[in-house]
Amino acid sequence: MIKQLSYLTLFILLVSACKKDETTSLQWSELAKEKREAIEQLIASEKCENLNDWTIEKAANYWCGHSYFPVHKRIKTQFEKLWNEYRELESKGIDAGIREGIIYEPCEEGIWHVSAPIQLICENGKAKLLYMKDLSLADSKAQITPVKTKIDNYLNNLTCNGKDNWTTTILLRDCGFDYIPYLTTANLTEIKKDIALYNSLKKNILEAEKPNCPVGEYMYPTGVKCVNNKPVVELSK
């Protein structure tokens, strides 16, 4: 009898293990949302009095990019545990979405910008992260001028001897975009940082001033050609 029960138990376990998980992507999303709220509640449970006790934690998202959190040293282990649980729920949600036929966009950065926080402060006893969007219009204007000078110097010093490995990125302007050529095989650390900072500052200015831009035809880049050893972006309607 005991042997028969053992076989029955084994059979039930095997069937349970093979049973298809029918949890939907929406249900996983709700569970992930609850976990994210638990993370926020954990952070809020610590009073912010001494900034030396806090760090800005850069946490990798499951699909694309990163999230940033102010984390007190006392809760760092708990935070990491909850974040890993959150990522697992996100993973299961995306897997379910793929089975449901949802198409997830690849992780591509369309416009270079600053996504990381620029400052950690204590406000009303709570830790708070400040981002580029929190800068005033005056500060944004003051910071953008030297950055634009660095980008202009980059463009002035660019040379080329062929079309291979050239592409473009977007630089925001008052109305529309400029397209900045760059060599994909070059070290882009500095110019990417400058363009990302410029675009973030320009976005602040545009949102504050709301320029009256006329409706026109959209010009998009089709390639980069060499003219007198200088890269020139080719545009088309």
Query: Given this model, what pLDDT does residue 19 score?
Result: 52
Indicate the pairing of strand 66-72 with strand 119-123. Answer: unpaired
Say yes or no: 32 and 114 in one domain.
Answer: yes
Query: Given this model, what pLDDT does residue 182 score?
Result: 94
Report d(CA 100, CA 148) in Å as an integer. Answer: 46
Say yes or no: 28 and 107 in one domain.
Answer: yes
Report d(CA 158, CA 230) in Å as an integer. Answer: 6
Its pTM stands at: 0.79
Domain span at residue 216? Answer: 135-236
Asked if residue 29 belongs to a domain, the reply is yes
Say yes or no: 152 and 228 in one domain.
Answer: yes
* Dihedral over alpha carbons 177, 183, 186, 189 (to 10 degrees): 10
Say yes or no: 84 and 123 in one domain.
Answer: yes
Asked if residue 5 belongs to a domain, the reply is no
Query: Given this model, what pLDDT does residue 6 score?
Result: 52
Query: Given this model, what pLDDT does residue 21 score?
Result: 66
> Of 87, 106, 132, which marks where a domain is finished?
132
Query: Given this model, what pLDDT does residue 158 score?
Result: 94
Query: Amino acid identity of 208?
Result: A
Please give the average pLDDT of every successive group of 10 residues along the chain, which has 237 residues: 46 49 90 96 97 96 92 97 96 93 82 94 97 96 96 95 92 93 93 96 95 83 92 92
Report d(CA 167, CA 190) in Å as an integer. Answer: 17
Say yes or no: 110 and 211 in one domain.
Answer: no
Asked if residue 154 belongs to a domain, the reply is yes
Asked if residue 159 belongs to a domain, the reply is yes
> Of 99, 132, 165, which marks where a domain is finished?
132
| Nearest alpha-carbon partner for 113 in 187, 204, 174 | 204
Say yes or no: 81 and 160 in one domain.
Answer: no
